[in-house]
């Protein structure tokens, strides 16, 4: 039987590589679901050569997906699968899990979203939206028949009969991480906190300046998130000790291909803090938590949720505040 990987991000490809090696999988189908962020799509294309697959299906972004989802579900439904791997819990993933015949399904690592999905999937009642109900008109099911298992770096609490396969990128490290050059640079992983509605632009730049001043005698390489827009205020703090480097691949893969082991890795609520703590050493990683009063109301609960796992992972955490938010 074949295995189906439903991929939406570069990090999911890294975890797909690890899963293929861990489970010794052959006959793999990769379904790449692209989005409107071209950087994301480019990174996924460049990384596909890492993985072993028999068939590649690419789904470009579109304003309307209903008929495409129905057609592709009916096409994929023609065969039975051993494993299905997915990293997001959107309408399309739910549709495939409800209609395809398979032995087991695993939620692939997609950073801190995994923590949110684990909470939702462990609930007895399945969430169904009006967008899901539309598929009943095409004669399709909208509720999955089997529980979801997990292939993750997180130490998740097992709930019910779910299987949790925890990994530390053992096979990825075996392939890439033989010898590293320890550098003197500190790498700061930027986050898309302004555009995604966590904090104001003024506050975000203030946080970066504060951290820059704390490490004033050190060289910092600032790597923007792929969805982050670099504005003029952030550009103005660039100097010989603070360099903005717009990397074109996931930071985990960049370090491994360049054989770089940074002096320190800093960020806010970045997934990469967890993955790099596994690939290197958690003593290299520092997570900066933002004062809850600085975080916009709709994001406060998510911030607290992520910080709980940061502490559980043993990652060093510091707090930073912007006192002039008005």
**What six digits make up the tokens of 288?**
């900066």
CB half-sphere exposure, 17, CA atoms < 13 A: 21
CATH number of 2-167: 3.40.50
Please tell me whether residue 166 adopts helix, strand or coil conformation. strand
| Residues 6+ positions from 212 with CB-CB distance below 8 Å | 220, 237, 241, 242
CA 53 to the chain's CA centroid? 21
Q: What is the pLDDT of residues 267-297, one digit of tens each?
A: 998 888 988 998 888 888 999 999 988 999 8
How far apart are the C-alpha atoms of 158 and 38, rounded to whole Å?
36
169 in the Ramachandran plot: left (φ > 0), alpha (ψ -120 to 50) or beta? left
Given this structure, which CATH class describes domain 177-320?
alpha beta
Distance of alpha carbon 303 from the chain centroid: 16
Q: What is the mean pLDDT of the chain?
A: 90
- 67-77, pLDDT tens digit by residue? 999 999 999 99
Helices 10-23 and 38-47, axial angle in degrees (round to 10): 30
| Alpha-helix runs per DSSP H in the chain | 10-23, 38-47, 66-76, 91-99, 113-121, 130-133, 170-176, 201-214, 232-235, 251-258, 271-279, 297-312
The pLDDT of residue 50 is 87
Delimit the domains of the chain by residue range: 2-167, 177-320
What are residue 28's DSSP bridge partners? 3
Q: Which residues of the chain have pLDDT under 70?
A: 124, 177-178, 324-326
The pLDDT score that the predictor gives to residue 164 is 94
State the Cα–Cα distance between residues 273 and 252, nearest whole angstrom.
Answer: 10
Contact present, 18 and 152 (Cβ < 8 Å) = no
| Predicted pLDDT of residue 66 | 92
DSSP string, 204-256: HHHHHHHHHHHTTTS-EEEE--TT----HHHHTT-BTTEEE---SS-HHHHHH
Q: Torsion over CA of 322, 271, 266 and 49, rounded to 10 degrees?
A: -140
């Amino acid at each position: 039987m074949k295995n189906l990987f439903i991929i939406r991000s570069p990090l999911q490809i890294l975890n797909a590589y690890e899963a293929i090696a861990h489970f010794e999988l052959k006959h793999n189908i990769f379904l790449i679901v692209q989005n409107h962020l071209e950087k994301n799509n480019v990174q996924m294309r460049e990384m596909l050569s890492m993985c072993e697959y028999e068939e590649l299906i690419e789904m470009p972004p579109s304003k309307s997906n209903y008929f495409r989802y129905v057609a592709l579900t009916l096409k994929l439904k023609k065969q039975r699968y051993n494993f299905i791997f997915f990293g997001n819990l959107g309408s399309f993933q739910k549709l495939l899990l409800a209609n395809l015949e398979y032995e087991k399904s695993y939620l692939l690592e997609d950073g801190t979203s995994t923590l949110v999905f684990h909470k939702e999937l462990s609930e007895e009642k399945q969430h169904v939206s009006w967008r899901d109900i539309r598929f009943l008109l095409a004669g399709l099911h909208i509720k999955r028949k089997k529980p979801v298992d997990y292939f993750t770096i997180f130490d998740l609490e097992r709930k019910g009969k779910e299987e949790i396969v925890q990994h530390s990128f053992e096979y990825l490290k075996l392939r890439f991480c033989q010898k590293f050059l320890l550098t003197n640079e500190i790498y700061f992983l930027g986050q898309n906190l302004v555009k995604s509605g966590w904090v104001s632009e003024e506050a975000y730049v203030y946080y970066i300046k504060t951290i820059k001043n704390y490490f004033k005698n050190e060289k910092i390489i600032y790597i923007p998130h792929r969805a982050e827009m670099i504005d003029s205020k952030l550009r103005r703090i660039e100097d010989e000790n603070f360099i903005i480097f717009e990397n074109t691949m996931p930071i985990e893969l960049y370090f491994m291909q360049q054989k770089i082991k940074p002096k320190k890795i800093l960020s806010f609520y970045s997934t990469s803090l967890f993955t790099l703590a596994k690939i290197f050493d958690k003593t290299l990683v520092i997570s900066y938590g933002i004062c809850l009063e600085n975080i916009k109301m709709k994001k406060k609960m998510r911030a607290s949720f992520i910080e709980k796992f940061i502490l559980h992972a043993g990652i060093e955490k510091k707090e930073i505040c912007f006192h002039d938010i008005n």
